[in-house]
Amino acid sequence: MNILESLQAGFRDMASHKGRATITMIGVVLGVASVVAVLALMRGGEEQSLAFWEELGGLRELRITNTRIDRLMMSAAEKASERLTYRDAIAIREECPSVSYVDPEITRWLNVSYGDLTYRMKVLGTTGHYPYADDMPVEEGRFLCDKDVETHANVVAMGPTFKEDLFGEEEAIGKTILIEGVPFRVIGVMERKEFYFEGDGPGNDRNVLEWFNRSHYIPISTMVKRFSITDRLDGLEVAARTVEDVPALTEQVRTVLTRRHGVEDFNIDAKTDRIEQQAEQMVFFNIVFWAIAFVSLFVGGVVIANIMLASITERVREIGVRKAIGGSDRDVFLQFLVEAIVVTVLGGAVGLLLGIGMVGAIDRFLDMPTAVAPSILLVAFLCAVGVGLVFGIFPAIRAARLSPVEALRYE
């Protein structure tokens, strides 16, 4: 008996025992659907996390901040250090071969006025690299440029929310606002940034990037000259040329800053490390998800094995006749193994459809991030075939080992 004949026999047996075949497939259907749902949830969470970091400039970036130090416990080197400064940013740009751009930041909350309106608003001193560092396109006008920084220009680019607070529907480009009484000409309005985490958790209906929209941006040199006593920075965004250069850039930045400060009084936070930390935190949940899917498939496999064994008991005389007329142990083994695989393949196909439906329901009713990719469907389907092979082998071996004489005598 060849494989084609075994397939035909498998389909004939399923057609003649529809109830048994249906019960056999249920476990596989649920197991495969569970695998699809689990993998879609895991992939959806990963994609949402990557999308969030892409909104913050991508995975090439390092965030450098000052370390919090207890003034009572400061060493002499720590007391002598000026902490992060604009001069550090220039040194990093000039001395680190793996760097693509450097974005220094000084943040102040200042009184901003236009006409009769005055608000306490966030003003950020930075350079022309800021839109690239945080993926902030300009909607109207332009952003800061190198000339603005070099000339200490009194120009400002506005976040869209603060633009609406001050100007409403009025055109802002070219108008003059006052920042702590100093006139600044509006040169640009940034495009609104939005990102909402999916799910029903607290705060998931809130735009987590709204703080970008609630900022004014002025040249960092102007910030130092007008509103800051020193060029001490609140932070630095440094981007590597490629994601692969991030580890090298991290060490280069650490070397430059430690040499300049005399002490490591700063933190270097790579976004790639953040993603790795999130992945480590999700390991427990992934294990639980996989355990659920494995148990579902295992139960389906046990059902297949039990029903196949029951089928063998019902068909002992049939097996005896087949062997008596020349059928080999291999033919009998192949027939029952193929029957098990046929059941799991059909169950897997139905399970894929059910799994896709479950993913759609999760996305719609639970509002959780999901993503179904061809690779997920392939893995789930291969799991079904694997279940058929593993749990179909033992019944097939038992059928193949039946003695034809004993089988013909079986009542």
**DSSP string of 167-216, one letter each residue:** HTTS--TT-EEEETTEEEEEEEEEPPP-----SSSTTTTS-TTHHHHT-E
Confidence of residue 73 (pLDDT cuts 50, 70, 90): low
The pLDDT of 231-238, averaged and rounded, is 91
Distance from the first to the final alpha carbon of the chain: 26
What is the arithmetic mean of pLDDT over 295-304? 80
CB 390 within 8 A of CB 341: no
The whole-angstrom distance between residue 391's C-alpha and the CA centroid of its chain comes to 35
Most confident range (mean pLDDT) of 32-36, 43-47, 70-74, 367-371 is 32-36
What are the tens digits of pLDDT across the range 262-287?
888 899 988 777 777 766 767 777 78
The pLDDT value given to residue 334:
79
390 pLDDT higher than 70: yes
Residue 348: per-residue pLDDT: 86
pLDDT given at position 171: 93
Q: Which two tokens stand for residue 199?
A: 């799910």
Least trusted range by pLDDT, from 121-130, 297-306, 343-352: 297-306
pLDDT value for 97: 94
Q: What pairing do the DSSP bridges indicate for beta strands 61-66 and 176-179?
A: unpaired
What does the pLDDT average to over 193-202? 68
What's residue 10's pLDDT? 63
pLDDT for 90 equals 93
pLDDT given for residue 13 in this prediction:
66
Q: Left if phi > 0, otherwise alpha if psi is -120 to 50, otherwise beta: which for 189?
A: beta
CA separation for the pair 150, 265 (Å, rounded): 29
Contact between 330 and 4 under an 8 Å Cβ cutoff? The reply is no
Alpha helices in 262-328 (DSSP H): 271-281, 283-314, 316-324
Cα-based angle 140, 109, 264 (whole degrees, multiple of 5): 105
Q: What is the pLDDT at residue 396?
A: 83
| Mean of the per-residue pLDDT values of the chain | 83
Of 11 and 178, more confident: 178
pLDDT band at residue 79, thresholds of 50, 70 and 90? low
Alpha helices in 56-137 (DSSP H): 76-80, 86-95, 130-133
Hey, what long-range contacts does 291-296 have (CB within 8 A, 24 or more apart)? Answer: 292/34, 292/38, 293/31, 293/34, 293/35, 293/38, 296/27, 296/30, 296/31, 296/34, 296/35
Q: What is residue 70's predicted lDDT score, i.e. its pLDDT?
A: 61
What are the structure tokens assigned to 192, written together? 């609104």
pTM greater than the 0.75 cutoff: no
- Per-residue confidence (pLDDT) for residue 94, from 0 to 100: 93
Is the pLDDT score of 72 beyond 70?
Answer: no
pLDDT of residue 7: 64
Residue 276, pLDDT score: 72
Residue pair 173/201 in contact (Cβ under 8 Å)? The answer is no
- Cα 227 to Cα 92, 102, 150, 218, 268: the distances in Å are 24, 22, 17, 11, 27
Domain borders along the chain are 3-53+281-409, 68-264
pLDDT at residue 47 is higher than 70: yes
Secondary structure tally for the chain: helices H, strands E: 16, 10
Q: With CA atoms as reference, report the closest residue to 125 among 99, 162, 156, 100.
A: 156
The whole-number pLDDT of residue 341 equals: 80
pLDDT, mean of residues 307-321:
78
pLDDT over 90 (residue 308): no
Q: Render the burial of 390-407: b for 16+ CB within 10 Å, e for the rest.
A: bbbeebbebbbebebeeb
- Cβ pair 218, 156 in contact under 8 A: yes
User: In the predicted model, is pLDDT for residue 126 greater than 60?
Assistant: yes
